[in-house]
Structure 1
Amino acid sequence: MYKNLLLIPDKIRQLRLRKGRSQRTVAERADVSQSVLCAIENGRRVAGLGQVERLGQVLANGPEEIEQLKGLAAHDQIVDLVAQRYGEQSAEIVSLVLQAKAALSEREMMKITSLIQECITAKSLLENPRSELKMSP
């Protein structure tokens, strides 16, 4: 299971423990069932944006932290979708790219994108030596 790629479970648990609140208390205040909150914290369920926003209203210290939670939730939803459609290995790659995007400047991301495109082209040339760009022996 790819639950180790999900970012929301640990963050929600950390925020809840930081506030010293039980799952039951947080679930009631966020209008989420305790079983759903438990499943989110354990990575058995991917949280929806609405759920994360309500949990953020209860646990976060201000709007910036709520926005951060929503970003983490978007990451988890994308990773979940990729894992279901293309497998865990692809989900891991997408997770790393999404996390890098958050940490890198637009210029750095463009350089990485260009490098990836060059790698794809090189791989294509190696797999199909009769393509229009011929490699010398």
Structure 2
Amino acid sequence: MLRYSTHAKNRSLYNTPPSFSIYMVNLVLKWIKSNGGVAAIERQNREKTDLIYNVIDASGGFYRGVAHPASRSRMNVTFRLGDEELEKKFVKESEAEGFVGLKGHRSVGGLRASTYNAVPYESCKALADFMNEFLRRHG
């Protein structure tokens, strides 16, 4: 269905291609190219997540990464604090500072910072700074 030749052989009557999805992929690919290509996006994502992972690793156990260091995600940084009450306090204080979506999945709990491609470096830096300040006040 996604092959142009299939549509050409069937005089465009085979099936309606997912036009909006194709359009969106085209926009994303153009955005990636305009930002230096895949290698540049990978470097930027590494720099963004390293900001947060470095806070976790330097916290002396106050923040605990969920994933083994060799298996850490560059899209979702998952971590825990000492107890659920402290995690709730973290979420509440982070929301007051303008952060959204840090509360982990309802079935597993914890915290999750998404660092998708379009999340700017400055947002990850702000979160790392917030995490350091939270550690200073509650650690």
TM-score scaled by structure 1? 0.30
- Bigger helix fraction: 1
Structure with the bigger percentage of strand? 2
Q: Structure 2 length normalisation: TM-score?
A: 0.30
